[in-house]
Structure 1
Amino acid sequence: MSLYFYEPFSDFDRLFDEAFNARTGGGNQVQRQRGDQVNPGVLKPRMDVHEDAASNTVTASFEFPGLKKEDVSIDVHNGRLTVSAQSNASSEREEGGYAVRERRFGKFSRTLQLPQGVKDEEIKASMEHGVLTVTFPKSAPELAPKKISIA
């Protein structure tokens, strides 16, 4: 059995931590440890997880708005799938006699525990319009429960 955690308020926690640290002048005096996220400078991309019992698959969708597939990395290590990306976008334009410069920098990372027995070649990934979709088997066929007939 695999457990997936959704943390809807992790962004709020981060914002409160940043506001508190800015107000008190403390750099990293308040640091919360949530799940795998020990590094407070790394943001978690939004994620949806769907299980399909009929096809025995799990589909995880990650939101990376404005990023291309070349900016995203997927790693598998010790039964854990880590999706990460880095955004380094900047733009410059003139508007109403003012120079407008916008910059977006940030690191994103999310880790999922894979079901036992999933092989690397069984994991499929695609990216379209800033949404990364990763599909993998819910359980390996050789690890699925087997029926034993009673004689």
Structure 2
Amino acid sequence: MSLINFFTNDGLFSDFDRLFDDAYARRAQGGSVQPQGSAPRLLRPRVDVHEDKEKNLVTATFELPGLNKENVSIDVHNNLLTVSGESKFESENNEDGYLLRERRLGRFSRSVPVPEGIKAEEIKASLENGVLTVTYPRAVAEQAPKKITIS
């Protein structure tokens, strides 16, 4: 299974998506667009996928800063592993008469394909320091042929 066809890790396609988002936002807002570098309109965690053919293992690493396991859900359906959740981040800094309050709220979802035949119990996940690591077999182990006796 080749993973290269399925992933666009915030490269060319994210720029393409951003162009369309900006164009529609500009049209809806009468010409104004949210400046580059301001708060994100859409939460889209970065994902890295590594395939180890020797160990028959795929590792998908999702960046989820500020989230804990209670805010993240992992589902497998129709050969897609979907990581979704909700970010509720709020910080306040009051210094020398200046007040800075930031919020990052919203839902997110990212999906990666899994090989056919992978069972949910074969998928392992851990979340540490805002990095979710999900591992699963690269391919289902082929069963040895079974000899059937004729009765």
Matched with 2:149 is: none
Which stretches in structure 2 are left out of the alignment for 5+ residues? 31-40, 146-151
Q: Secondary structure at the match of 1:20?
A: helix
Task: Determine the C-alpha separation between the residues in 2 that align with 1:5 and 1:26.
Answer: 32
TM-score (norm 2): 0.75
One-letter amino acid matched to 2:19: F
Task: Determine the C-alpha separation between the residues in 2 that align with 1:79 and 1:101.
Answer: 41
Q: How many residues align?
A: 132
* Residue 65 of structure 1: how far off its partner (Å): 1.3
* Residue 57 of structure 1: how far off its partner (Å): 0.7
Matched with 1:32 is: none
Matched with 2:112 is: 112
Matched with 1:5 is: 7
* Equivalent residue in structure 2 for 1:22, among 21, 25, 47: 25
* Residue 24 of structure 1: how far off its partner (Å): 2.1
* Residue 74 of structure 1: how far off its partner (Å): 0.2
Q: Secondary structure at the match of 1:15?
A: helix
What's the RMSD between the two structures over aligned residues? 2.4
One-letter amino acid matched to 1:13: F
Q: Percent identity?
A: 53
Q: Secondary structure at the match of 1:86?
A: strand
* Residue 143 of structure 1: how far off its partner (Å): 6.2
Q: Secondary structure at the match of 1:76?
A: strand
One-letter amino acid matched to 1:109: S
Task: Determine the C-alpha separation between the residues in 2 that align with 1:18 and 1:50.
Answer: 29
Task: Determine the C-alpha separation between the residues in 2 that align with 1:71 and 1:89.
Answer: 11
Change (3 A) 1:44 1:116: same
One-letter amino acid matched to 1:9: L
TM-score (norm 1): 0.75
* Residue 26 of structure 1: how far off its partner (Å): 5.8
Task: Determine the C-alpha separation between the residues in 1 that align with 2:95 and 2:18.
Answer: 30
Task: Determine the C-alpha separation between the residues in 1 that align with 2:90 and 2:16.
Answer: 27
CA contact (8 A) 2:8 2:14 kept: no
One-letter amino acid matched to 1:24: R
Which stretches in structure 1 are left out of the alignment for 5+ residues? 28-40, 147-151
Change (3 A) 1:73 1:121: same
Deviates more, 1:53-62 or 1:14-23: 14-23
Matched with 1:34 is: none
* Residue 10 of structure 1: how far off its partner (Å): 3.9
